[in-house]
Amino acid sequence: MNGIKQTILKHIRLNDFTTYAKIQSLFDEAGHDYKGDYTFFLEDNNTSWGGWSYEAYRMIEELQEDGFIVMQETEAIFYGVDRVLPVYPLGTIGKRYKRLHWTPVCFRPVPTPAQDEDEGFERFITACDVLLMMKGVWRQRDEQKPRRA
């Protein structure tokens, strides 16, 4: 695995919900030439990102094919945090559009067996949890307060 691909994988493992925008900034920091005219289409007129070279796209695709990361639809707020929001209307995976739409996606690490065995490890949080954390409030799911009889 080459250096930039290893850097991207390490970042995704340490930073769940990594966006294309963040990966693009990792390319910039490493001085890697990623720019091109390739656009990633999920369905007809439904894109997740563009402006990269085919080689840069293949790095991400190979990490998915090798079972290291998964792509999933996410909230646009994650791209707002990275200060990059495309100008297209928001789309959804599985929909086809007449005009070009943008569906925000993120990359998540595939948990290792050691992480699966850790009972206290809660890896997956929702976009709502992120918003609440940004406001200084953490919603504790699965934790119930004892009730008085």
DSSP for 8-59 reads HHHHHHHSSSEEHHHHHHHHHHHT---EEEEEEEEETTEEEEEEE-HHHHHH
pLDDT band at 111; cut points 50, 70, 90: confident
Flag whether pLDDT at 147 surpasses 50: no
Q: What are phi and psi of 68, to 5 degrees?
A: -85, -35
Flag whether pLDDT at 124 surpasses 80: no
Q: Which residue has the higher pLDDT, 103 or 132?
A: 103
pLDDT cut 90: percent of the chain above it? 55
Q: What is the pLDDT of residues 78-88, one digit of tens each?
A: 898 888 888 88
Model pTM score: 0.72
Q: What average pLDDT does range 58-75 have in this prediction?
A: 94
Question: Residue type for 143, please?
Answer: E
The pLDDT value given to residue 142? 38
The pLDDT value given to residue 2? 83
The pLDDT value given to residue 6? 95
Average of per-residue pLDDT values in the chain: 81
Q: What are phi and psi of 29, to 5 degrees?
A: -60, -35
Map residue 71 onto helix, strand or coil: strand
Query: CA nearest 56: which of 27, 81, 29, 78?
Result: 27
The pLDDT value given to residue 96? 85
Residue with tokens 């990102």: 49
The pLDDT value given to residue 114? 54
110 in Cβ contact with 69 (< 8 Å): yes
Q: What average pLDDT does range 28-46 have in this prediction?
A: 92
